[in-house]
Amino acid sequence: MDRKIGIIANSKELKETIERFYAEDIKNGNIIMDILDPERIGEQGAELERKGAKAIIARSGGYHYTLGKVSVPVINLKIYTQDVLYAIMVAEKYNKKLILVLSNYDEFDYSEWKNLIRSEIIMEKYYSAEEIEGVVSKYKDVYNEIVIIGGGFPCSFAESFNMDYVNIISREETVRDIVSRAWQIVDNIYEHKFNNSLLTNVLDHVHDAVVTIDKIGNIIFFNERAEELFKKKKRSIIYTNLKKSFPELSFICDALTKNKGITDEIVHIRDVVATANISPIGVDGQIEGVLCTFQDITQLQGLEKKIRFELNKKGLTARHNFGDFLTNNHQMKNVLEKANKIGHSDSNAIIYGESGTGKELISQSIHNISKRKDAPFVAVNCAALTESLLESELFGYEEGAFTGARKGGKPGLFELAHGGTILLDEINSISINLQTKLLRVLEEKEIMRIGSDYVIPLDVRILAAANENLKDKILEGSFRSDLFYRLSVLSLNIPPLRNRKDDIILLFRYFLSVFKEEGNIPEINDSLKEQLLNYSWPGNVREVKNVAERYVLLGELGIEEGEKDTWNLNDRCEENRANESESVDFSLDLKEINNFVELKVIDMLEKQGMSKNDIAKVLGISRSTLWNKINKGDMS
């Protein structure tokens, strides 16, 4: 920080005093000094300012000449009563009439001291520097009879007229006080400039447009965001009247008379819709102005979308594209071509396919070629969560909405997907109650958090995935038809792997290359190919991946056993009955044996990667019946 001050010394004595007290500061350049010069007095202050002085100290005539001619503060080195009395005491030694020449800024009441002063004193006052010479020249005809007492200018003119003179010298404590005060002023100015710069920078970089008016309605602050919002430059409207420059903003002036703020007021300003917040500015109980902030709602929505995406970028992105799919199958190529067309639309869609066929990969690829590709992609498995947990995950909740609710609440997945795509996987598993709430999201395009009393506008594309035919679910009464027709604007059917055998070897070889850390990929001979092609792959591509990993690690496919378990259930039943008859001696319960076999089959199908829905379909029973069998058999 530069604390340089300039001093115009009106006498050699003052200059020496300052040099004695402030030698180090003069050496370091914190004080720059000039002797009062009548020939260039009008320029001395400006010269000091050009040299970097942040404030200038001058006295009497020097003060008069410098004031108003520089842009930095000019501080008057006042003449005090003690200084005048000391000069009078010195002048009395001349035994002449004393002429005391002071400026109107100098305070000395002669009437209070006349009884203590032996000599006669004539008081002369001047009100501008131009008057000084005239005041002194009045006495040039009697120059032998008088002594001029005054500051630098009066004494310099007295000298030119051959008059005796006594310079009023400032005392040491006066000099120390005025220099200290000059530095304090410089520090205060710097702090004021810093605070102003800080405030301006803060207000220019906030996302709100800020407009401030004074108590008569003139615009005194207009930040960069306000320039952008109102399409006007600060320099063209600053200090103009608000009502004239922006008639549509005249409501801001109402706060001057009503002394009442406004919060989140929706206002229309030309072609902009914004929210306005108005606060009166009070000083000592008086309203001195009004501060108003505006938020462009369109920009606010864009910022909210960006924040949502950035905060959740890691978990809310789609990583896959159509180029990630490996297929030689004509049917699958047609599916991908249709999916590509779906991606270029913005309609809701249902994707059908068995577990492991790649429904989520297709969904991510659709998202990544859509106009929403730069926005979040959120996938949720509806079958993996209970109804209450799924509801809280989808819609979010407010703080205190239920026991265990997170402090501050939690945004739902629909909120996080705002502007992007949400995939509702295994939508066939959600309850009728939750289907009703989901239908509202589709119809109203808004959601309400659990425990909240306000709605949140929503812009999201919904992709649904199902491993059951939803039309069959409608006939069963377990799926709402109105929700189905809202979701199924577009539909896609991914064929199971057993129906596209020309992809089995291609996929198996690919996964071998993924899991083989080093060296060559194991040879796929004819025997291995036959095994792979003759297997039904109930777990689809996911199961191919698992089998390939097992083959790399153990050198075996492990699928023959599954085939045997699937197609030789009678042999297993006979074996179990034989083993039981050897170890126990009582009659066999056929129902108990059947239950035992069913549990073994379920266990075997689960290990092959099949979902509960697929197992229920293979066994020809409902999902709830399957759960009952598992629970009774105590499987975990």
Find the length of the chain. Answer: 636
CA-based R_g, the chain, Å? 47
pLDDT for 385 equals 80
Assess contact for 219 and 237: CB atoms under 8 A: yes
Q: Which helix (H) or strand (E) holds 98?
A: strand 97-103
- Residue 213 neighbours by CB under 8 Å, 6+ apart: 219, 220, 242, 252, 253, 256, 289, 290, 292
Region of 595 please: left (phi>0), alpha (psi -120 to 50) or beta.
alpha
| Dist. CA 423–CA 377, nearest whole Å | 8
DSSP label of 180? H
Helices and strands, counts by H and E, the chain: 29, 22
In this prediction, residue 586 has a pLDDT band, given cuts at 50, 70 and 90, of very low
Greater confidence, 264 or 498? 498
Assess contact for 355 and 544: CB atoms under 8 A: no
pLDDT for 230 equals 82
For the stretch 410-422, pLDDT in tens is 888 998 889 999 9
| Dist. CA 349–CA 331, nearest whole Å | 19
In this prediction, residue 255 has a pLDDT band, given cuts at 50, 70 and 90, of confident
Q: Which helix (H) or strand (E) holds 262?
A: strand 262-269
Assess contact for 495 and 331: CB atoms under 8 A: yes
pTM over 0.75: no
Give me 253's structure tokens: 């002036």
Helix axes 590-607, 560-567, angle to 10 degrees: 150
Question: What is the phi/psi pair of residue 321, to 5°?
Answer: -130, 170
Assess contact for 158 and 98: CB atoms under 8 A: no
Q: Which helix (H) or strand (E) holds 394?
A: helix 387-395
| Average pLDDT for 533-558 | 88
Topology of domain 5-77+174-183 in CATH is Rossmann fold (3.40.50)
Cα of 493 vs its chain's centroid, Å = 43
DSSP label of 167? E
DSSP character string of 503-546: GHHHHHHHHHHHH--SSPPPP--HHHHHHHHHS--TTHHHHHHH
At residue 491, does pLDDT exceed 60?
A: yes
Which of 9-23, 339-353, 608-622 is least confident? 608-622
Q: Please name the CATH architecture into which domain 498-557 falls.
A: Orthogonal Bundle (1.10)
Q: Where are the domains of the chain?
A: 5-77+174-183, 81-169, 206-299, 312-494, 498-557, 566-632
Greater confidence, 333 or 515? 333
Distances (CA, A) of 399 to 166, 304, 384: 83, 21, 25
- The secondary structure of the chain in percent helix, strand, coil, rounded to multiples of 5, reads 50, 20, 30
For the stretch 89-104, pLDDT in tens is 999 999 999 999 988 8
Q: Where are the beta strands (DSSP E) in 190-235?
A: 209-214, 219-222
Distances (CA, A) of 55 to 62, 67, 329: 14, 11, 87
Assess contact for 201 and 195: CB atoms under 8 A: no
Question: What is the phi/psi pair of residue 340, to 5°?
Answer: -60, -40
DSSP character string of 423-453: EEETGGGS-HHHHHHHHHHHHHSEE--BT-S
Which of 20-34, 167-181, 240-254, 569-583 is least confident? 569-583
Which of 54-68, 125-139, 166-180, 477-491 is least confident? 54-68
| Residue indicated by tokens 């009078």 | 88
* CATH number, span 206-299: 3.30.450.20
Q: In this structure, how many other beta carbons lie within 10 angstroms of the beta carbon of residue 397? A: 20
| Dist. CA 180–CA 186, nearest whole Å | 10
| Average pLDDT for 557-586 | 45
What's at 541, amino acid-wise?
V
**Residue 414: strand, helix, or coil:** helix
pLDDT for 581 equals 42
At residue 463, does pLDDT exceed 60?
A: yes
Give me 404's structure tokens: 């265990």
| Dist. CA 532–CA 72, nearest whole Å | 91
For the stretch 589-625, pLDDT in tens is 555 556 666 777 777 777 666 777 777 776 767 776 7
| Residue indicated by tokens 């040039």 | 140
| Dist. CA 150–CA 69, nearest whole Å | 24
For the stretch 185-217, pLDDT in tens is 888 888 887 777 777 777 766 778 888 999 898
| Average pLDDT for 563-591 | 42
% residues pLDDT > 90 (the chain):
25
Give me 634's structure tokens: 């105590």
Say whether 566-632 and 498-557 share the same fold. Answer: no
Q: Is 367 exposed, middle or buried (0-12, 13-18, 19+ CB in 10 A)?
A: buried
- What's the sign of the alpha-carbon dihedral 482, 487, 491, 493? negative
| Dist. CA 97–CA 123, nearest whole Å | 11
Report the candidate in 158, 167, 148, 166 with the shortest Cα–Cα distance to residue 15.
Answer: 167
The domain 312-494 is placed in CATH, from the list 1.20.1050.10, 1.10.760.10, 3.20.20.120, 3.40.50.300, at 3.40.50.300
* CATH number, span 566-632: 1.10.10
| Dist. CA 430–CA 464, nearest whole Å | 12
Q: In this structure, how many other beta carbons lie within 10 angstroms of the beta carbon of residue 161? A: 15
Distances (CA, A) of 429 to 343, 346, 424: 25, 25, 10
In this prediction, residue 302 has a pLDDT band, given cuts at 50, 70 and 90, of low
| Residue indicated by tokens 């492990």 | 558
At residue 335, does pLDDT exceed 80?
A: yes
Topology of domain 81-169 in CATH is Rossmann fold (3.40.50)
Assess contact for 222 and 204: CB atoms under 8 A: no
Question: What is the phi/psi pair of residue 463, to 5°?
Answer: -110, 130
For the stretch 359-385, pLDDT in tens is 999 999 999 999 999 888 999 988 888
| Dist. CA 293–CA 295, nearest whole Å | 7
Question: What is the phi/psi pair of residue 428, to 5°?
Answer: -65, -15
Q: Is 593 exposed, middle or buried (0-12, 13-18, 19+ CB in 10 A)?
A: middle
pLDDT for 1 equals 67
| Dist. CA 95–CA 147, nearest whole Å | 9
